[in-house]
Amino acid sequence: MRRELVIRPRALADLKDLYNYIERDSPVAADEYVERIEAYCTELVDFPERGTRRDDLKPGIRVVGFGRRVGIAFAVFDDRVEIARILYGGRDLGRALDETEF
């Protein structure tokens, strides 16, 4: 059975914020970067055990890096992979996940 990819509203907002930040310098670069992140998230459906379990932050959460500056927090369920947050740079992942419900 193939899992479904669910990108939670807060993660979509994270992507939009990231796009808006990069777009100031280059709309083309912003499009390409966000598309690469989305493609990487899609790969998690087939390879959901990527990243590191971070039960210390929130039970069931895994975190994987993208590039050098982006952290993707997600949870794996029997029928889906849910992207909880997509954070750029040195954002406090623990605080960001406190704002996220599963």
What local confidence, expressed as pLDDT, does residue 21 receive? 93
Helix (H, G, I), strand (E, B) or coil at 41: helix
What local confidence, expressed as pLDDT, does residue 99 receive? 65
What local confidence, expressed as pLDDT, does residue 2 receive? 82
List Cβ neighbours of 70 (8 Å cut-off, separation of 6 or more). 18, 37, 86, 87, 88
Is 100:87 a contact under the CB 8 Å cutoff? no
What local confidence, expressed as pLDDT, does residue 41 receive? 96
Stretch 6-23: mean pLDDT, rounded?
95
For the chain, percent of residues with pLDDT exceeding 90: 71
Model's pTM, two decimal places? 0.89
pLDDT tens-digit readout, 52-65: 999 998 899 999 99
What are the structural domains, with CATH classification, of the chain? 4-98 (3.30.2310.20)
